[in-house]
Amino acid sequence: MGNDKPPRTQYNNPSTRVTVAFPFSNIRLNDPDERMKELAAVVVELARVLDATVPGGTRELVERAEACRDALDD
């Protein structure tokens, strides 16, 4: 008479979470090597050739290539 609520269902709900730790202290950033700098220089030269030969030019491509090359020298 006093308790009209249905009985509570009991269940077991184990956790399926996994904690992953990354070794961030071991990440090394290296300066670009000479091959990468040489490749950037080649890309700049190719962009300049395209700019000189394509009607309307490709100045934006030249500027982007030069910016990438310059970023490697910093």
pLDDT by residue (tens digit) across 56-73? 888 999 999 999 999 987
- Domain ranges in the chain are 32-73
> pTM score > 0.85 for this model?
no
- By CB neighbour count within 10 A (0-12 exposed, 13-18 middle, 19+ buried), where does 62 fall? buried
pLDDT by residue (tens digit) across 32-54? 788 999 999 999 999 999 999 98
- By CB neighbour count within 10 A (0-12 exposed, 13-18 middle, 19+ buried), where does 68 fall? middle
pLDDT for 28 beyond 80 = no
